[in-house]
Amino acid sequence: MLSEEGFAELYQSSWQALWCVAVSVLNDKALAEDALQESAIIALRKRGDFTPGTGFVPWMSAIVRYVALNQSRKTARSRTSSVDPALLDQTNEEAPIERRGTGSDEMFDDRVKAALETLSETARQCLLLRTIFDAPYSEIAQKLEIPEGTAMSHVHRARRTLRDRLAGSSATSEQHREANQQ
């Protein structure tokens, strides 16, 4: 069985990749950190299930992914509430919309976050591991338990998708500015 010290060493050396898994599911830095902590507690209790000599990161990534997905579902449920339609009619349409995650400590601006959210979870994970942590494709493939060529394809297509979406939103913003100046 994996000792607590052995677990701590493996976890410490792989937390960045695990954080990428969590943030790719949750799209929120603080929630990803919470999911990582919860995952570590769960994995520490289940360390007897880990087979020494196998990949720690894929095993731990699966736990992180499930915790993040559960957390995402809880967050979505807490945001959904039943509201009387009569109250909706009384709301002020001009009221400012509350924006989530716009603090200065956030990693991405709202346009990039929105573009990232259009990617599949696996594509987002591959892209974040490659661009933020400069992980080699072989390592990405191992961590996500996918073929190396698939990891490369995900990164390539995700970059193209983000480029297109961000260029489109820039063009739209430019058109709005020009229209407002006239």
Low-confidence ranges of the chain (pLDDT < 50): 81-83, 85, 87-105, 176-177, 179-180, 182
Task: Compute the distance between CA of residue 107 and CA of residue 29 in angstroms, rounded to an integer.
Answer: 7
Q: Please tell me the predicted confidence (pLDDT) of residue 103.
A: 36
Q: Please tell me the predicted confidence (pLDDT) of residue 79.
A: 60
Q: Please tell me the predicted confidence (pLDDT) of residue 139.
A: 86
Q: Please tell me the predicted confidence (pLDDT) of residue 105.
A: 37
Q: How many other C-beta atoms are found inside a 10 Å radius of the C-beta of residue 170? A: 11
CB contact at 8 A, 62 and 26: no
Q: Please tell me the predicted confidence (pLDDT) of residue 80.
A: 53
Give the model confidence (pLDDT) of 142-182 as tens digits: 888 899 999 999 999 999 999 999 887 655 555 544 544 54
Q: Please tell me the predicted confidence (pLDDT) of residue 18.
A: 92
**Range 1-77 classified under CATH 1.10.1740.10:** yes
For the chain, what are the domain ranges?
A: 1-77, 106-182
**Range 106-182 classified under CATH 1.10.40.30:** no
pTM over cut 0.75: no
Task: Compute the distance between CA of residue 90 and CA of residue 30 in angstroms, rounded to an integer.
Answer: 34
Q: Please tell me the predicted confidence (pLDDT) of residue 88.
A: 42
Q: How many other C-beta atoms are found inside a 10 Å radius of the C-beta of residue 6? A: 14
